[in-house]
Amino acid sequence: MSISDLFASIEPLEGPTVATIGTFDGVHLGHQALLQRVQDEAAKRGAKSVAFVFKEQPRAFIKPSTQVTYLSDFETRREILTKIGIDHVIELEFSSAIQKLSSDEFVGALRDRIGLVSLILGPGAMIGSDRAGVEQLSATSEHTDIDFIGVPAIVVDGEAVSSSVIRIAIVSGNCELASKMLGRNYSISGIVADGEKRGREIGFPTANIEPKFPATVPENGIYATLVEVDGETHKSATSIGVRPTFETDGGRTIEAYLLDFDGDLYTKRLRLEFVTRLRAEVAFDSVEQLVEQMNKDVEQTRQILANN
């Protein structure tokens, strides 16, 4: 297959264009700064801004046995990038043929296909089989007509913002760090599914949410959350875990009790925003003890979310 065949699925653009490339999982503050630079450079050159987005993390392709989870699905990433003002968001399939291209072949193909005049890369980003970063590209690329620009990392609480650092924060229950690095609360979307119908019996009906892609799920525990459903936002207390008070080998569920709400949520799409982790889940000796604690969780949630 020729190089131009490999890029045939990319709609040709007349150019000039300023582009960046990545998975953009979460579209966090670092991504946002990078995308801003792409837009600024495009404006300076009278060019269009382009983001090439890998649907899947390249490491999932390179080593299929790797368990990868995401902060946001592809459609959400596309929506955010478009909202930010990127002119063309182009899905890029990672394939063994693309993987074999050298950085010069890759950049040359982009120049021919979309009229690339500048490529902007985030910290540590490398392209092509020779894994060229911005410094190498600037020094040795045969495409001297293309401007290669590197954008530094954004640092939050002394740590460089990255999708993997945010994923680690979430699986450790650190909602606050995730929120700071994302520039918004971390959220999971999914459809409300049937549970064991036990919730309403104990006075706390819970909407069980099933994410449809490999979402990064916060550590088991109880969280103060916000639920968005039918265009409205509700305060909620959410439990993630295996419900040890009732189950001995229960699967992991994500279930939200919406405060001051009564209605049918089954089959609805719901977005759950994580604000803070309240506590670990506990195997209570009785349902009464669980209910007593759930009442406390709801009160604490009310206080924490008083300003939301």
Ligand X SMILES: Cc1cc2nc3c(=O)[nH]c(=O)nc-3n(C[C@H](O)[C@H](O)[C@H](O)COP(=O)(O)O)c2cc1C
Interface residue list for ligand X (CB under 6 A)? 195-199, 204, 206, 208, 222, 237, 239, 243-246, 255, 257, 281-282, 284, 290, 294, 297
195 binds ligand ADP (CB under 6 A): yes
Nearest distance from C-beta of residue 238 to ligand ADP, angstroms: 10
Interface residue with ligand ADP among 207, 222, 224, 305 (CB under 6 A) is: 207
Nearer Cβ to ligand X (155/283): 283
232 binds ligand ADP (CB under 6 A): no
Contact (CB, 8 A) for 58 and 23: yes
Q: Which of ligand ADP, ligand X, none sits in contact with 245, Cβ below 5 to 8 A by type?
A: ligand X
Q: Which of ligand X, ligand ADP, none sits in contact with 264, Cβ below 5 to 8 A by type?
A: ligand ADP
Nearest residue to ligand X by CB is 195
Q: According to the 3-state scheme, what is the secondary structure of the chain?
A: CCHHHHCCCCCCCCCCEEEEEECCCCCCHHHHHHHHHHHHHHHHHCCEEEEEEECCCHHHHHCCCCCCCECCCHHHHHHHHHHHCCCEEEEECCCHHHHHCCHHHHHHHHHHHHCEEEEEECCCCCECCCCECHHHHHHHCCCCCCEEEECCCCEECCEECCHHHHHHHHHCCCHHHHHHHHCCCEEEEEEEECCCCCCHHHCCCCEEEECCCCECCCCCEEEEEEEEECCEEEEEEEEEECCCCCCCCCCCEEEEEECCCCCCCCCCEEEEEEEEEEECCCCCCCHHHHHHHHHHHHHHHHHHCCCC
203 binds ligand ADP (CB under 6 A): no
Backbone angles phi, psi at 246, to 5 degrees: -110, -30
Q: Which of ligand X, ligand ADP, none sits in contact with 194, Cβ below 5 to 8 A by type?
A: ligand ADP
Nearer Cβ to ligand ADP (47/272): 272
Q: How many residues sit close enough to ligand ADP to count as binding (CB under 6 A)?
A: 20
208 binds ligand ADP (CB under 6 A): yes
Nearest distance from C-beta of residue 39 to ligand X, angstroms: 42
125 binds ligand ADP (CB under 6 A): no
Nearest distance from C-beta of residue 253 to ligand X, angstroms: 7
Nearer Cβ to ligand X (261/284): 284
Residues of this chain that interact with ligand ADP (CB under 6 A) are: 192, 194-200, 205-208, 257-258, 261-266
